[in-house]
Amino acid sequence: MAEFRSICRTEDVLPGTSKLFVAEDRMIGVFNVGGEFFALANECPHAGASLAHGCVTDGAVSCRIHHWRFSLRTGQYLDEDKPEYDAATYPVRVAGNDVQVEV
């Protein structure tokens, strides 16, 4: 059964940044966009690059290798209608100063 786990503190991922964390043996990219937090499976579904180290613009992260774009909110692959390439997302909540991800 999935449950929320504290993965970092809000000050660990400042607005406009992202970082890689591990929870329950899963590599998860945490993104802070204007104070709203998002969490995606870190591995790009196409080539395996780190999404946490990608470029974030307009609510999407671009893989740094081939520049494929994924919605931070839904994980949807935005460049083509190919749902098999959608990135996995995790529900996020903030409890006090803790960023929690449901894993």
The residue type of 75 is: G
Q: Return the percentage of the chain with pLDDT > 90, whole number.
A: 94
Domains and their CATH numbers in the chain: 4-102 (2.102.10.10)
pLDDT at position 47 is 86
Element counts in the chain: helices (H) and strands (E): 0, 10
pLDDT in tens, 2-25: 799 999 999 999 999 999 999 989
Both tokens of residue 18? Answer: 């992202």
Question: What pTM was computed for the model?
Answer: 0.94
